[in-house]
């Protein structure tokens, strides 16, 4: 075993000329967080819509929503990245395609789109599970009070469902942060990509990856605590949060 440890490498200037290796890694972390947060926003909005549709009485709409979920679940994320980055600009009209290819932040935009759609299918499954875990009486009560179906969803079902699915949504959010690392294949300089390039330039493999690992763990811990706090704030008395649809005795 002859590996030369050099933990001071982080304070040495990096070859990109803007700062130290530490600055490079932290800027990678910013890209990771920016990608994950933007994609998460998109996933929540689309996922809620698709997930809600999956529980409506309209059979055709349910089928389309189910097909949407299956489509994004059964293709590897890496392949989806390639589809958005290499294939999509070729299939849209040429002018839009050229505009997409000349975008300055093309990898970022693509990664957000890809992760957003990918995660939306997962959020959709959780949202439908949350709605279906509610007692049937709630929907009936809503309609009995004279609410329309959209109103019942807006004021009765969705507010309850969201509170119930906070724990699974937390793990989806953690997943989106981790999945953003796949975007390095299309050239997004996020945390893992920065660690990799630091390793290539400085040959300090294990220091670079250790730093990236620690940063990921810190982000994880922060997210978990934040979501636990949110979970407590929004908990509905009388419901055991986290147990969606498990029948007891």
Partner 1 sequence: MFANFDFNVIQRSWVYLFQTGMTFTLELTALAMIGGIILGTLLAMMRLSKFRLLASVATGYVNLIRSIPLVLVIFWFYFLVPYIGAWLIGASEPIKVGAFSSSLITFILFEAAYYCEIMRAGIQSIPRGQVFAGYALGMNYWQTMGNVVLPQAFRNMIPVLLTQTIVLFQDVSLVYVLSITDFVGAASKVAQRDGRLVEMYLFVAVVYFVLCYALSMLVKRLQQRVAIIR
DSSP SS3 for 219: helix
Q: How far is the CB of 74 from partner 1 (least distance, A)?
A: 4
Q: Is 132 in the site for partner 1 (CB under 8 A)?
A: no
Under 8 Å between Cβ of 62 and 56: yes
Considering only residues 171 to 190 of the shown chain, the ones binding partner 1 according to CB under 8 A are 174, 178-182, 184-185
Of 205, 180, 234, 226, nearest to 33 by C-alpha is 180
Query: In the stretch 2-41, what mask flags binding to partner 1 with x, by CB under 8 A?
Result: xx--------------------------------------
Q: Is 64 in the site for partner 1 (CB under 8 A)?
A: no
CA 159 to CA 238: how far, in whole Å? 15
Query: Applying CB under 8 A, which part among 12-20, 74-82, 122-130, 235-243 lies near partner 1?
Result: 74-82
Q: How far is the CB of 139 from partner 1 (least distance, A)?
A: 26
Using CA atoms, how far residue 202 sits from 48, 190, 205, in Å, is: 45, 18, 8
Q: Is 129 in the site for partner 1 (CB under 8 A)?
A: no
Q: Is 126 in the site for partner 1 (CB under 8 A)?
A: no
Buried b (16+ CB within 10 A) or exposed e, 146-177: ebeeeebbeebbbebbbbbbbbbbbebbbebb
Question: Which residues sit at the interface with partner 1, rule CB under 8 A?
Answer: 1-3, 70-71, 73-80, 82-83, 86-87, 90-91, 174, 178-182, 184-185, 192, 195-196, 199, 205-206, 209, 212-213, 216-217, 220
């Amino acid at each position: 075993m002859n590996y030369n440890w050099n933990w001071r490498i982080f304070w040495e200037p990096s070859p990109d000329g803007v700062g130290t290796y530490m600055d490079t890694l932290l800027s990678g972390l910013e890209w990771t967080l920016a990608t994950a947060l933007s994609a998460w926003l998109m996933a929540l909005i689309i996922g809620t819509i698709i997930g809600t549709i999956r529980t409506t009485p309209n059979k055709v709409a349910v089928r389309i929503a189910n097909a949407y979920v299956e489509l994004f679940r059964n293709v590897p994320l890496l392949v989806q990245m390639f589809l958005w980055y290499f294939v999509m600009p070729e299939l849209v009209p040429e002018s839009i395609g050229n505009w997409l290819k000349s975008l300055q932040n093309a990898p970022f935009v693509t990664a957000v789109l890809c992760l957003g759609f990918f995660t939306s299918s997962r959020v959709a499954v959780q949202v439908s599970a949350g709605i279906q875990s509610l007692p049937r009486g709630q929907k009936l009560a809503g309609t009995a009070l004279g609410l329309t179906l959209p109103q019942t969803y807006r004021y009765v079902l969705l507010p309850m469902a969201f509170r119930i699915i906070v724990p699974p949504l937390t793990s989806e959010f953690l997943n989106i942060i981790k999945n953003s690392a796949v975007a390095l294949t299309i050239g997004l300089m996020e945390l893992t990509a920065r660690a990799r390039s630091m390793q290539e330039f400085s040959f300090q493999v294990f220091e670079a990856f250790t730093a990236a690992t620690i940063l990921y763990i810190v982000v994880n811990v922060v997210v978990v605590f934040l979501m636990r706090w949110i979970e407590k704030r929004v908990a509905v008395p009388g419901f055991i949060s986290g147990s969606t649809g498990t029948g007891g005795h």
